[in-house]
């Protein structure tokens, strides 16, 4: 019983600092203080914003930390025992407190004045305030002082636990000035290192070159490497020292390492708090909308919202939640061919497939890795999965089996597509670090054929509903664009939509037949293919580009006699062009009969089609909107694009609970407020857009 009460009083403890017998740490977005022996922690702050990276002064009098009480992260200072806090900086960008100088000044790093993200430089600031002083060490993430002016700095030393076993170009590096003369030497340390500290005559740091982050030390020249902790499940993180001992975080606990004994122990700390972050609260569902998918018949939707799985009809009935209501996360909800649901859930600690059918939930207990993409077969109880291990899996929900269809040594497969008859699975497979190919896997025979050569980056395959073509996107249009600042060339718009003719000796796809002067009559939509035939011989040579300009294409899907795709404008990496970050794209439709494309929707992020390609749901930001792809929302038709909402059970859209008509020029008129014939493009003169009755 006592242990149960203690567990209930534990929190998620992180970013500790130590000075003598006092430890300060972060929990529930506040600062807490506890004795180095453990026990009941005492709250030091109850601010309005998030706090982080506390650092106790060596004499134990002051506590410096970063807070966001006034929106921007800034350095604050308060008495170590608690009391009023004083804002010390007015910089604006990222700020991280890293400790104190031997002279008793606050040491922090910031990206202030730098042109790039994560390009930190070190500053000092006295406890009396004033202007920060820049230290002449260049890029610095961590800085620790040693004896006789010696210093150790860390560059790119972030938190390796966020990207475990990273070995790329921005892995952490430690530089040492062992004599204090200003000459730094980089230590030849393997793995991703962080939190360098000078303790005694050795350099201490956290590293993961043996698989999991642990505490290590070495001599100032990088030799005599020793490992001091043996954490096998969770990374050691956020280490700090007072020159005598090292305190760090591992999992949700704080650990204290004593170099004199060469041993570490977990501190028993009680945090008797309200647990604000874990308390029940109500949030707008549209703010946390994840993935979504249409029912095969197009009348319902499944979506994951803040880790929970919901399904609901487009118009009728209430919203229904599936699976455990709390403490789990659902992703990739999909409809099976019979109308039941399948989703990925981590309730067991690892992701597994969960099936919801006839009011019951069951789990396919098979290792599927971390799922990055998933699609269900339109005919059978089969699910295609792409995971973080660069594998493409096929799960049979009737036999409870999972088999590996393909695996790449170079990258993940993030796009999957089923043929209309469920006999073929198309997916993109990385063939080199820079190129991908589109592969076709036949379910019945288990054979795999290549639809493209793999010389380019081919992705996003999609089948024609009539079984004639396989559509995909490919970055293979090399028309360079000159840079406006540097004398350089790049390819910001290298992608175009393409198709592969699945049958040989077919008619050219972009050569319409003669029709004279008679007006073209719309033919009834052809039925979906009952079986898809693929002539493998010469398949890679039957690739044709759509007669449209190159651009930034994201998604492609086939309709009966038409093709839909989304097209975006290139966006700046920093969003500093005056228009913010990436903007919504537009939805275009290509008609094979007229060999012409037109813009259907001006603002869209993504879309989902029903199996019969007759119903579509579009997403723009936090809104989901239903639409019939066969119709164009032109002013002549004046057809509303209603927002999806539950009639009696709330909304998954942030739009208000009234239907509205959106016109191609961005104008909007309210269907409820009759009598207003004014249409504007969001101007304040439109009475409907300003919320006033006409």
pLDDT tens per residue, range 231-277: 999 999 999 999 999 999 999 999 999 999 999 999 999 998 877 77
Distances (CA, A) of 156 to 118, 178, 585: 8, 20, 35
Task: Give the count of beta carbons closer than 10 Å to the beta carbon of residue 642.
Answer: 18
- Which phi and psi angles does 355 have, rounded to 5°? -110, 135
Q: Return d(Cα 628, Cα 614) in angstroms, integer.
A: 6
The yes-or-no verdict on residue 671 having pLDDT over 60 is: no
Paired sense of beta strands 39-40 and 269-270, if any: parallel
Residue 104 within any structural domain of the chain: yes
Q: What is the mean pLDDT of the chain?
A: 87
The yes-or-no verdict on residue 413 having pLDDT over 50 is: yes
According to DSSP, residue 643 is labeled: B
The yes-or-no verdict on residue 653 having pLDDT over 50 is: no
Q: Return d(Cα 205, Cα 216) in angstroms, integer.
A: 5
Percent of the chain scoring above 70 in pLDDT:
87
Mean pLDDT to the nearest integer, 50-74: 95
Residue 680 within any structural domain of the chain: yes
More confident: 524 or 677: 524
The yes-or-no verdict on residue 138 having pLDDT over 90 is: yes
Residue 72 within any structural domain of the chain: yes
Q: Return d(Cα 402, Cα 468) in angstroms, integer.
A: 30
Q: What angle do CA 687, 689, 693 make, to 5 degrees?
A: 40
For residue 516, the model assigns a pLDDT of 75
Residue 105 within any structural domain of the chain: yes
The yes-or-no verdict on residue 191 having pLDDT over 70 is: yes
For residue 645, the model assigns a pLDDT of 43
Tokens linked to 246: 């090292």
Q: Return d(Cα 569, Cα 577) in angstroms, integer.
A: 13
Task: Give the count of beta carbons closer than 10 Å to the beta carbon of residue 495.
Answer: 24
Q: Return d(Cα 646, Cα 624) in angstroms, integer.
A: 12
Q: Return d(Cα 685, Cα 320) in angstroms, integer.
A: 41
- Which residues, at least 6 apart from 132, have a Cβ–Cβ distance to it below 8 Å? 89, 91, 108, 123, 124, 125
Tokens linked to 601: 């929707």
Q: What is the 3-state secondary structure (H, E, C) of 308-335?
A: EEEEEECCCCCCEEECCCCCCCEEEEEE
For residue 483, the model assigns a pLDDT of 87
Residue 144 within any structural domain of the chain: yes
Residue 510 within any structural domain of the chain: no
For residue 612, the model assigns a pLDDT of 85
Residue 74 within any structural domain of the chain: yes
Q: Return d(Cα 138, Cα 119) in angstroms, integer.
A: 9
- State pLDDT tens for residues 529-578: 678 999 999 999 999 999 999 999 999 999 999 999 999 998 777 665 55
Mean pLDDT to the nearest integer, 654-659: 32
Least confident of 313-322, 568-577, 588-597: 568-577
- Which phi and psi angles does 670 have, rounded to 5°? -85, 125
Mean pLDDT to the nearest integer, 333-359: 95
Please identify, among 197, 221, 253, the residue that sits at the C-terminal boundary of a domain: 253
Please identify, among 192, 219, 253, the residue that sits at the C-terminal boundary of a domain: 253
Residue 298 within any structural domain of the chain: no
Per the structure, the complete domain to which residue 140 belongs is given by 58-253
The pTM for the full model equals 0.74
Please identify, among 253, 279, 310, the residue that sits at the C-terminal boundary of a domain: 253
pLDDT-derived band at 282 (thresholds 50, 70, 90) equals: confident
- State pLDDT tens for residues 593-644: 889 999 999 999 999 999 888 899 999 988 899 988 766 544 444 333 344 4
Ordered strands of the 562-568 beta sheet: 552-558, 562-568, 585-591, 596-604
**Contact yes or no for 308/324 (Cβ under 8 A):** no
Placement of tokens 């439109």 in the chain: 686
CATH number at 85 reads: 2.120.10.60
Number of domains within the chain: 2
Beta bridge partners of 200: none
Q: Over the range 188-211, which residues count as b (16 or more CB within 10 Å of their CB) and which as e? A: ebebbbbbbbbbeebbbbbbbbee
According to DSSP, residue 2 is labeled: H
How many Cα atoms within 13 Å fall on the side-chain side of residue 366?
A: 18
pLDDT-derived band at 428 (thresholds 50, 70, 90) equals: very high
**Contact yes or no for 427/441 (Cβ under 8 A):** yes
The yes-or-no verdict on residue 489 having pLDDT over 80 is: yes
């Amino acid at each position: 019983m006592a242990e149960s009460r203690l567990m209930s009083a534990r929190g998620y403890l992180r970013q500790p600092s130590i000075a003598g017998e006092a430890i300060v740490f972060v929990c529930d977005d506040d600062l807490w203080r506890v004795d180095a022996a453990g026990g009941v922690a005492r709250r030091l702050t109850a601010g309005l914003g998030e706090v982080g990276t506390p650092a106790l002064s060596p004499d134990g009098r002051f506590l410096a930390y970063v807070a966001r009480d006034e929106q921007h992260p800034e350095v604050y200072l308060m008495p170590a025992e608690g009391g009023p806090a004083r804002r010390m900086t007015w910089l604006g960008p990222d700020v991280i407190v890293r400790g104190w100088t031997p002279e008793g000044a606050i040491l922090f790093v910031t990206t202030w004045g730098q042109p790039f993200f994560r390009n930190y430089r070190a500053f000092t600031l006295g406890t009396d305030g004033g202007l920060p002083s820049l230290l002449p060490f260049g890029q610095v993430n961590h800085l620790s002082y040693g004896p006789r002016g010696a210093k150790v700095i860390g560059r790119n030393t972030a938190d390796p636990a966020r990207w475990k076993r990273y070995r790329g170009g921005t892995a952490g590096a430690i530089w040492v000035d062992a004599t204090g003369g200003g000459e730094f030497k980089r230590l030849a340390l393997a793995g991703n290192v962080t939190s360098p500290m000078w303790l005694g005559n050795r350099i201490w740091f956290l590293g993961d070159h043996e698989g999991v982050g642990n505490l290590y030390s070495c001599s100032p020249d990088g030799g005599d490497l020793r490992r001091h902790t043996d954490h096998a499940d969770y990374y050691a993180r956020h280490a700090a020292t007072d020159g005598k001992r090292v305190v760090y975080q591992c999992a949700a606990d704080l650990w204290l390492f004593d170099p004199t004994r060469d041993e570490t122990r977990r501190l028993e700390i009680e945090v008797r708090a309200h647990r604000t972050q874990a308390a029940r609260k109500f949030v707008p569902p549209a703010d946390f909308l994840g993935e979504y998918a249409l029912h095969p018949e197009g009348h319902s939707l499944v979506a994951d919202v803040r880790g929970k799985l919901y399904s609901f009809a487009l118009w009728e009935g209430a919203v229904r939640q599936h699976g455990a209501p709390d403490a789990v996360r659902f992703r990739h909800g999909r409809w099976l061919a019979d109308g039941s649901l399948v989703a990925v859930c981590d309730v067991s600690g690892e992701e597994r497939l969960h099936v919801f059918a006839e009011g019951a939930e069951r789990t396919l207990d098979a290792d599927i890795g971390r799922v990055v993409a998933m699609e269900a077969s339109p005919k059978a109880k089969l699910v295609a999965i792409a995971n973080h291990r660069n594998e493409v899996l096929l799960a049979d929900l009737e036999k409870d089996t999972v088999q590996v269809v393909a695996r790449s040594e170079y990258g993940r497969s993030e796009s999957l597509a089923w043929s209309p008859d469920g006999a073929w699975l198309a997916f993109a497979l990385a063939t080199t670090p820079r190129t991908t190919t589109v592969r076709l896997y036949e379910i019945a025979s288990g054979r795999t054929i290549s639809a493209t050569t793999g010389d380019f980056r081919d992705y996003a395959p999609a089948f024609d509903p009539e079984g004639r073509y396989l559509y995909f996107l490919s970055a293979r249009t090399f028309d360079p664009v000159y840079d406006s600042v540097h004398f350089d060339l790049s390819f910001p718009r290298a992608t175009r939509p393409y198709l592969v003719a699945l049958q040989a000796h077919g008619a050219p796809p972009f050569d319409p037949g003669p029709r004279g002067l008679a007006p073209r009559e719309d033919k009834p939509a052809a039925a979906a293919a009952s079986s898809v035939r693929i002539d493998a011989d010469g398949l890679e040579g039957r690739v044709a580009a759509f007669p449209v300009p190159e651009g930034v294409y994201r998604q492609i899907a086939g309709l009966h006699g038409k093709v839909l795709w989304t097209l975006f404008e290139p966006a700046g990496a920093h969003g500093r062009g005056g228009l913010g970050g990436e903007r919504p794209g537009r939805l275009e439709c290509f008609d094979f009969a007229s060999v012409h494309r037109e813009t259907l929707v001006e603002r869209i992020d993504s879309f989902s089609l029903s199996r019969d390609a007759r119903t579509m749901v579009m997403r723009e930001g936090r809104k989901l909107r239903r639409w019939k792809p066969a119709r164009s929302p032109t002013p002549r038709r004046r057809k509303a694009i209603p927002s999806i909402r539950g009639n009696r059970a709330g909304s998954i859209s942030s739009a208000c609970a009234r239907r509205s008509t959106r016109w191609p020029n961005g104008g909007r008129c309210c269907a409820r407020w009759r009598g207003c014939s004014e249409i504007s493009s969001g101007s304040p003169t439109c009475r409907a857009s300003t919320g006033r009755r006409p």
